[in-house]
Amino acid sequence: MKDTELRQLMAQSVQKCHRAVFDNYCNYVYAIVINVLRSCGTREDIDDCVSDVFMKIYKRFDEGIDFSDNLKSFIAAVSRNTAIDAFRKITLRNNKNVSFDDEDMEELRSEEHIIENSEKKEQSRIIFGKIKELGEPDSTIIIQQYFYNRTAKEIADSISMTAAAVQKRSSRAKQKLKALLIEEGIGREGLV
Amino acid sequence: MNKNNLFEGTDDMLLDKLSQEFPVLTDEEKERIFAMSERKYNINKNNEKVNTNYKDFSADNEVKGVEQYKRPMWYKTLSIAAAAVLMVGGVAGSMMLMQHGGTRVPTTNIEETTAATTDATEPTESTTEDVSEYMAAALELTDKLAHYENVLYNHDIAVDENDSLTFTMHNYEGKEHEEHYVRVIDPEIQSGNDLKNAILALCTDEFKDLLYNDSGEYDEDNLVFNICDYLYSSGYFINDFSGYENGATINNYYKTGSFITYNDALYVCTNYMERDADYYSSEPEIISHGDDYFEATRMTVGPCINHFGCPDIKVGTKATFQFKKVDGKWKINNIKTGRSVEAWALAAVNHYFNNVCTDYSPDELDIRNDQNEDGLITKSFYDKLIDNYRILKNDSDNSCRIYCIIKDKEGKDHLEFTADIDFLIDDDFGFMGDEDYSEYFSFSNVSIKEIR
């Protein structure tokens, strides 16, 4: 979606604009948010955070900021920052020792971690590729189970299978994925 | 497999790809999150407005009873701003309140219509069951209605400002004034009929009949949304100015209209043009449903509903929308209005100082209607309160918390009144003021502070 389309929609109706932006980006925002909150947040926390993201985005629209062709980047940045804020709140609430404080942020910016992050990015690309290699419905089962934290029943509902069948396929797909990742040299402890 | 490590380091580009190739949200989840985001946005927007005026006011620090305190500085600003609003809206407001005799809550009618439209389908009380289909339909149809009404009332439609027309018109007194028109470029609405048909397409045939009957008159009691004022009033869409040169003088004030056609194109008058006017202060709430029928309520602050002239409406009036499935599509089957929270709250304040409060006599306060020797009301209680109050919170149109400044007989700010008010009954009655409305209101958490 381009800024000009956004303006046209805003001119027609604010609600229409909100709806269009939501429909276009809800899956993307959800993916960014769950990627940050997966380890600590409940489903409600994640939904709450995603709705916060869109509320903030709508508010920025009201300010009439020119996004040119950077709307997607802007949405990604708002999603990430809101999710990190939510992560801090949730971990505080849960009294977990996990933190995402300024020191961590600073550490993440260090050269060493830039290299490490870039390696992780490359690794996650390979993992994603290997998951896709599993073929359907196994790819969807693994992504829904391990990325989106969905239950076997929810996955079963979405792909018209029984929960028991999903669990069985998941177990086999996991073994298959493990073998594929070892082939690629990605088999470090804790990952597979 | 460790799910937290497996996707560690996933960057935005990959997340984008993953979200596109493996979207996970169901329609129901999307609707829920969208409704949540809209609700937060509206609350945030309203809070910002309230906070601007009430930044120094803290309801949590109130002390019950009577105490002395200094008037906060912000109040002066509020009074000036509110007085300006009053000048344009207050008089009209009081006239409407007195003439119409308060808001109408035709609950009996709603039940009757429900029975007529549901046939064998028994309406179900909403609990936690899945109402996403109803919610989505209610959102879509009420938002569309709001959009078209904003087009009609606020001329809020996409235009090309570079394609404009100006005519000099004569009003009924013969005085000249200029009317400016700009070309409508909304592809959906290119004629008056497009707009009329777009609105009517949202409605069932029964509702269309209510909007406009064969005798050419609409039933005002059945319709608080003033769609028909615009759809059917003569001269609204019919004026074709193609016969006049741009810039010409038109010696016929009857030809003044909000929309005109010119060389087969639609133009809208730039007067009263307002963008993105608020229309609702809440999301739809599904209150009953069946297979081919449901009802939803939504608090409306839109211009096309009668809020009895209250300016700066934030909570508004409850509208109950009835929807019916026709040929597989949901349509609006009726719209009824409930209480205007602001109007009821002000009537409650009048009642409190007339009948409940024992610390102050209403004779000391400027709270009652002013009457002339013939007993005619010259200034209503409503006009006296309307520029000095805010609804701090509300539960639909069932209850609210109000903050209000009460003046003394010299017109000086005398009391700060804050209270939770429950609206007890549904009834069709008029708030004339200075009467005992005990059966209508109950008060709690009352705080009265003297201002000096």
Q: pLDDT tens for residues B208-227?
A: 777 665 444 444 443 334 45
Range in A38-47, A103-112, B113-122, B417-426 with the lowest mean pLDDT: B113-122
Whether residue B4 and residue A38 make contact (CB cut-off 8 A), yes or no, is yes
Cα–Cα–Cα angle for B230, B235, B238, nearest 5°? 100
Q: Rounded to an integer, what distance in angstroms lies between the CA atom of residue A12 and that of residue A6? A: 10
User: A8, exposed or middle or buried, with CB in 10 Å at 0-12, 13-18, 19+?
Assistant: middle
Count CA within 13 A, CB hemisphere, residue B222.
18
Q: Is B173 on the interface with A (CB under 8 A)?
A: no
Q: Rounded to an integer, what distance in angstroms lies between the CA atom of residue B329 and that of residue B323? A: 10
Q: Among A18, A121, A150, whose Cβ lies nearest the Cβ of B11? A: A121
**Beta pairing class for B293-300 and B285-290:** antiparallel
Phi then psi dihedrals of residue A145, to 5 deg: -75, -45
Whether residue B3 and residue A146 make contact (CB cut-off 8 A), yes or no, is yes
Portion 252-311 of B in contact with A at CB < 8 A: 275-276
Which strand (E) or helix (H) includes residue B125?
strand B124-125
Whether residue A124 and residue B8 make contact (CB cut-off 8 A), yes or no, is yes
Q: Indicate whether A184 pLDDT > 80.
A: no
Q: Rounded to an integer, what distance in angstroms lies between the CA atom of residue B132 and that of residue B88? A: 42
Residue of A37, A147, A178, A191 to mutate for B, most B C-beta atoms under 10 A: A147
Whether residue A124 and residue B276 make contact (CB cut-off 8 A), yes or no, is no
Q: Rounded to an integer, what distance in angstroms lies between the CA atom of residue B392 and that of residue A106? A: 43
Whether residue B11 and residue A177 make contact (CB cut-off 8 A), yes or no, is no
To the nearest whole Å, the CA of B184 is away from the closest chain A CA by 11
To the nearest whole Å, the CA of A31 is away from the closest chain B CA by 6
- Residues sharing a CB contact under 8 Å with residue B330, sequence separation 6 or more, in sequence order: B137, B141, B323, B324
Domain residues of chain A, as ranges? 3-93, 106-183
Whether residue B18 and residue A147 make contact (CB cut-off 8 A), yes or no, is yes
Q: Largest Cα–Cα distance in chain A?
A: 54
Q: Rounded to an integer, what distance in angstroms lies between the CA atom of residue B47 and that of residue A161? A: 46
Whether residue B30 and residue A190 make contact (CB cut-off 8 A), yes or no, is no
Give me A9's structure tokens.
Answer: 């929609």
Whether residue B41 and residue A59 make contact (CB cut-off 8 A), yes or no, is yes
Number of H helices, E strands in chain B: 11, 17
Whether residue A191 and residue B6 make contact (CB cut-off 8 A), yes or no, is yes
Q: Rounded to an integer, what distance in angstroms lies between the CA atom of residue A37 and that of residue B195? A: 46
Q: Is B8 on the interface with A (CB under 8 A)?
A: yes
Count CA within 13 A, CB hemisphere, residue B21.
18
To the nearest whole Å, the CA of B296 is away from the closest chain A CA by 18
Whether residue B2 and residue A28 make contact (CB cut-off 8 A), yes or no, is no
pLDDT for A180: 85
pLDDT for B397: 87
Asked if B297 and B284 count as a contact pair (C-beta separation under 8 A), the reply is: yes
**Among chain A residues, CA nearest to B159:** A11
Q: Among A15, A16, A28, whose Cβ lies nearest the Cβ of B15? A: A28
Bridge partners of B288, per DSSP, are: B125, B295
**How does pLDDT run along chain B (452 residues), one tens digit per residue?**
555 567 777 788 888 888 998 998 988 888 889 988 888 887 777 666 544 443 333 333 333 333 222 222 222 222 222 322 222 222 233 333 333 333 222 222 223 333 333 333 344 444 456 788 899 999 999 999 888 888 877 888 999 989 999 988 876 566 777 889 999 999 888 887 788 788 888 999 888 777 665 444 444 443 334 455 555 444 445 578 888 899 888 876 555 567 888 898 999 888 777 777 778 888 899 999 998 999 999 998 876 565 555 556 788 888 889 999 999 999 999 888 778 888 889 989 999 999 999 888 888 999 888 888 777 778 888 888 887 888 888 888 899 999 989 998 888 889 999 999 999 887 645 577 788 888 889 999 999 988 87
Q: Among A16, A38, A140, whose Cβ lies nearest the Cβ of B22? A: A140
Q: Rounded to an integer, what distance in angstroms lies between the CA atom of residue A19 and that of residue B146? A: 15
In the CATH scheme, what is the code of domain A106-183?
1.10.10
Count CA within 13 A, CB hemisphere, residue B183.
10
DSSP code of residue B262 = E
Phi then psi dihedrals of residue B336, to 5 deg: -125, 150
pTM above 0.90, yes or no: no
Bridge partners of A148, per DSSP, are: none
Contacts of B34 in chain A (CB under 8 A): 18-19, 22, 26, 51, 54
User: B243, exposed or middle or buried, with CB in 10 Å at 0-12, 13-18, 19+?
Assistant: exposed
Whether residue A58 and residue B16 make contact (CB cut-off 8 A), yes or no, is no
Contacts of B281 in chain A (CB under 8 A): none
DSSP letter string, B347-384 = HHHHHIIIII-SSS-GGGBS-SPEE-TTS-EEE-HHHH
Q: What is the mean pLDDT of residues A20-26?
A: 91
Q: Among B14, B41, B275, whose Cβ lies nearest the Cβ of A124? A: B14
To the nearest whole Å, the CA of A33 is away from the closest chain B CA by 10
**Among chain A residues, CA nearest to B148:** A13
Q: Rounded to an integer, what distance in angstroms lies between the CA atom of residue A33 and that of residue B277? A: 32
Q: Which class is A3-93 in CATH?
A: mainly alpha
Contacts of B147 in chain A (CB under 8 A): 12-13, 15-16
Residue B313 has a CB neighbour count (10 Å cut-off) of 24
Whether residue B11 and residue A124 make contact (CB cut-off 8 A), yes or no, is yes
Q: Among A23, A55, A128, whose Cβ lies nearest the Cβ of B14? A: A128
B366-402 burial code (b ≥16 CB/10 A, e <16): bbbbeeeeeeebebbbbbbbbbbbbbbebebbebbbb
**Among chain B residues, CA nearest to A116:** B9
Task: Name the range with the highest mean pLDDT among A47-61, A113-127, B116-130.
Answer: A47-61
Portion 12-51 of B in contact with A at CB < 8 A: 12, 14-26, 29-30, 32-34, 36-38, 40-41, 44-45
Which strand (E) or helix (H) includes residue B224?
none
Which strand (E) or helix (H) includes residue B297?
strand B293-300
Q: Indicate whether A69 pLDDT > 70.
A: no
**Among chain B residues, CA nearest to A19:** B34
pLDDT for B115: 32
Per-residue three-class SS string for chain A: CCHHHHHHHHHHCHHHHHHHHHHHHHHHHHHHHHHHHCCCCCHHHHHHHHHHHHHHHHHHHHCCCCCCCCHHHHHHHHHHHHHHHHHHHHHHHCCCCCCCCHHHHHHHHCHHHHHHHHHHHHHHHHHHHHHHHCCCCHHHHHHHHHHCCCCHHHHHHHCCCCHHHHHHHHHHHHHHHHHHHHHCCCCCCCCC
Q: Rounded to an integer, what distance in angstroms lies between the CA atom of residue B5 and that of residue A113? A: 16
pLDDT for B292: 92
DSSP letter string, B298-312 = EEE--TTS--TT-SS
pLDDT for A94: 64
Q: Is B7 on the interface with A (CB under 8 A)?
A: yes
Q: Rounded to an integer, what distance in angstroms lies between the CA atom of residue B277 and that of residue B66? A: 40
To the nearest whole Å, the CA of B148 is away from the closest chain A CA by 10
Whether residue A123 and residue B9 make contact (CB cut-off 8 A), yes or no, is yes
pLDDT for A6: 75
Count CA within 13 A, CB hemisphere, residue B126.
17
B59-71 residue pLDDT tens: 333 333 332 222 2
Look up tokens 């709250």; give the residue.
B345
Q: How many CB pairs under 8 A join A and B?
A: 147
Asked if B53 and A38 count as a contact pair (C-beta separation under 8 A), the reply is: no
User: For chain B, what is the mean pLDDT?
Assistant: 72
Residue B410 has a CB neighbour count (10 Å cut-off) of 7
